[in-house]
Amino acid sequence: MINILDYLDKDSIVLDFKHKNKKNILASLLDHLILKNKIKKENRKELLKILLQREEMGSTAIGGYIALPHARTEYAKNIVLCLAISGEGVDFDSLDQEPVNVVALLISNQKEAGLHLKMLAFLARMLRDKSFVQHLKNAKNEEDILALISKQQKAVQ
């Protein structure tokens, strides 16, 4: 059983980001993770390249106002999860042409294929709930988001 809160804390949450395109959104999230010592600054360029290459294969904005950009790479020792919320929504080349309000960025080590896929599936299951996404959009702070996630993951397990 996966506990998202083992990988997500206050420092991994970005509230009300404003960037308008996919590349800037991903770059901004990587910058945030560097600032919070979750990833190394010297790996930023390569991580961004890997994430953008994954997006070229097909958008990770899967509809329902969510995007799940992800990468397995040698530049991550462990799983790194970053959750970004945009109240007004951003363009992420979504399959349903709708703006994205929740971006869940997942970076893991190449050796963690099983856990990486389980995390992606679990995040998608949690975020499929439209009312949960609405609550995330309306959250006032990181603590509210962590409480919402704690409640939601119990509901979907």
What's the pLDDT tens digit per position in 53-97?
Answer: 999 999 999 999 999 999 999 988 889 999 999 988 999 999 899
Residue 81 pairs with which residues in a beta bridge? 106
Domain residue limits, the chain: 4-156
Residue 67 pairs with which residues in a beta bridge? 61, 103
37 by Cβ neighbours in 10 Å (0-12 / 13-18 / 19+) ranks as exposed
Architecture of domain 4-156: 3-Layer(aba) Sandwich (3.40)
Q: Give residue 17's pLDDT.
A: 84
Kind of pairing between the strands at 61-63 and 70-73: unpaired
